[in-house]
Amino acid sequence: MPSLAQVLPANDLGFLRIVASLWGIELNAPAPAQAALELAEAMLDAELMEEVIAALPATAHQALQTVFEAGGRLPWVQFARRFGELREMGAGRRDREQPYAHPNSAAETLYYRALIGKAFFDTPSGPQEFAFIPDDLLQALEFMGFEPSPTLSTEEEPKSAADASLLEPEYADLTEPEYTDLEEPEYADIDEILSEASETSSAVIPTIKAKIPPVVIPTRLDSPVGVTGQASSQSVSSLGRAATPAEKAHLRLASDRVLDDLTTVLAALRLEMEPPPLSIPLPVLHGFLVASHLISGKTLQPEAVKNFLEAPREVALARLVEAWQSSETFNELRMLPDLSFEGVWENQPLITREFLLNLLEPIPEGVWWSIASFLRDIKQKYPDFQRPAGDYDSWFIKRISDGQYLRGFVHWDQVDGALIRFFLQVLHWLGQVDLAAPDESSAPTAFRLLSGPLPVVQSQTPRITVSSDGVLVVPRLASRSLRYQIARFCEWGRSDGEEYRYRLTPASLKRAAGQGLKVSHLVGLLSKQAGVQLPPLLVRALQRWETNGTEARIETLTVLKVKRPEVLTELRSSKAARFLGEVIGPTAVVLQRGAEAKVFSALAELGLLAEVEASD
C-alpha cells in the first residue's frame, strides 16, 4: 500500500494544512510538495500519533481498528456501509463548509486526519476501491501495539452451543429475536482471502461427513476465514447456535430420493416428454444431471447414464455429491424459485459453495442447529460472501411476486440469505442434511449435519408386480436401470413416492418399437433381471401384438340413425354427404367429428328434424 508521503496530496496545500491543524503540527514549507514530506515525517512521531489516536471519537477509533484488523485495507463499500461516506467536494467548497470541523461520519474524521486513504487496488476480480491505512502508518500502529478503544463495548464472538446442546438439548432459549438492521462489527476482504488461499494446492470440502470418503477438489479457501482478512489455519468457532425445541419440532429426514427423481427425468428425456411433478424442482434435477455429465443440453450421454443407473445407491449418491461440489455450472443463486435474473452479470457459484461448506465445518455433527442464527452470524461477519467488491447494485435481481428489483444491502435477506437457505435445502436433497420446522407446513428453521450413512430402508430386493391387464408396479428401491427401461415401454401412471405405476398399451409399445425396442426385450428384462413371473395371458397378448399389431380398438363415435334407408339416400345426395363416414347398417352411418351442426342443417333443408341422444 502507498506510504503516507504518497497519500498526502503534493498539490493541495489547503488539505495539508487541514491535516496539520488536526494533528497540531506547524507547517513551515511554502510549497505543497515539500509540505507533504514535512507533514508525513511529523505524523510518524510515535508520541504524537498515540495522542491523536487517543483523542479520536469512539466510532472513528472503531473504524480505524476495523481497517487495521483487516490487514490495513478494506473494500470501500464495506467500510462506508458501517462508518459512512465522504462528502464529495472540491477545494473551494471544502474550505467554505469545513467538513473536517464538523464531520458527518467516522470516515470523514479519519480521512481529514490522513489516518486512512481511499484508492483503487488490483484484486483477482479486477480493480476495487478500498479504504486503507498508509503503509508506514500501519507499521507504526503495529509497533505501538494499537489496541481497541477502552470506551467501546465490544461484542464477543458468537459462542458454539454444541456442548450445551449435547448435554441439555431441551433447555435452550425458546425465543429467537428478529434481526433486520444488524450491525456488522467484523469484515473480511473476500477477494484478498480467495487470492491468498488459491496458493494452496487443494482442500477437503468438509460437508460430506462419514457417509462417503472426503472429496478433495481444488479450492480457493483452505478453511473458514477469520476476522483479520487472512485465511485461518485453525477452524473458527461455529456460526449460530443450537436449535430450540420449537425450531426442531417437525423433522424432515434426509434420503436418497434424488436418485429416483433423476431416473424419472432421464427416462422422460429419452422419451422426449415432460416428466411428472417430482419431489425436487426440475431445474435443480437438471442442474444435477449437467454437473454429473449425464446430459449435455438435453441429450443423454449413454455410457454415463448406464454407469449411474447400474451403480449401487450409496455409490451413485456419493458420485452425485462429488459432482455437485466441484461443479461450476450448478448455480444455486439462479435456481431460487421466487426471483428472476436479468442482464449479463455473472456470479461465481463454485467459490460461493466452497465458502459456505467451509462455514459448516465447525458445526458439530448430529446436533440440530438454528438456521436463523446461522444466517444472522454470516450477515454480521461475512455479508459479502458472494458479492465481488461488496457490490449490491450491479446484479439485476427481481422479485417475481411484485416485480421489485432487489438492489442494495437492504435486500440481503431476500437474496443472499435466501441463497443460504436454498443451499441447505440442496444439501438435504443430496442426503447430507436433515431439516426441521415448527410444523408440517412451515419453512425449515433448523438443520443437522449427518454423522453417518443413511439408514438401510429395506434389506431384501423389492419385487416388481405385473398384472394380466398390463399394469406394472415398480417399488422405489427396485433397480433404477430396470425402471428406466420399463418406463420406455409403458404409459406412465401415478406415483405415491414409494411406488411407480406403468401400463403397457399399443401406443406405448409402438413408441418403444420406434426406438428399436422389442417386446422380447421387455419380457427378458422382467423375467431374467427382476425374476418376475409374467402372467401367461399378458405374454400371449404381447406376442400377438408384436406379430399382428393392434387387433382391437375402442372408439367413441357419433352415429346418425334414421328410420328409413331412403333418408340416408337423400342425405348422400345433399351437401352434407362429405360429412358421412363408415356405414354401420341400412339406417345408420358414422358422422365425422364436429360435423353434427352441418348435418342437422342439411336434414332441416330436407324437412327432417333430428334430436340428440345424450350418452350416459
DSSP H/E element including 265: helix 258-270
Give the model confidence (pLDDT) of 37-53 as tens digits.
Answer: 999 999 999 899 999 99
Average pLDDT for 470-492: 93
pLDDT of 614 = 65
Say yes or no to pLDDT of 155 above 50. no
Name the residue with higher pLDDT: 231 or 246: 246
Instruction: Name the pLDDT band for 543 (thresholds 50, 70, 90).
Output: confident
- Is residue 451 predicted with pLDDT exceeding 80? no
Work out the average pLDDT over 234-258.
Answer: 88
pTM score, whole prediction:
0.69
Query: In whole angstroms, what is the distance from residue 327 CA to residue 290 CA?
Result: 9
* Residue 493 pLDDT level (bands cut at 50, 70, 90): very high
Average pLDDT score, the chain? 82
Residue 549 has pLDDT above 80, yes or no: no
Which residue in this structure is represented by grid cell 401400463?
503
Report the distance separating Cα 134 and Cα 126, nearest Å. Answer: 21
> Measuring CA to CA, which residue among 566, 588, 491 is closest to residue 268?
491
State how far the Cα of 118 lies from the Cα of 131, in Å rounded to an integer: 5
pLDDT tens column, 360-379 = 999 999 999 999 999 999 99
Q: Where are the domains of the chain?
A: 4-143, 250-449, 465-548, 558-605
Write down the pLDDT at residue 398.
Answer: 96
CA atoms within 13 A on the CB side of 576: 24
Task: Give the per-residue pLDDT at 252.
Answer: 96
Whether the pLDDT of residue 222 is over 70: the answer is no
Q: Provide mean pLDDT across the span 73-81.
A: 89
* Residue 372 three-state SS: helix
Per-residue pLDDT at 160: 33
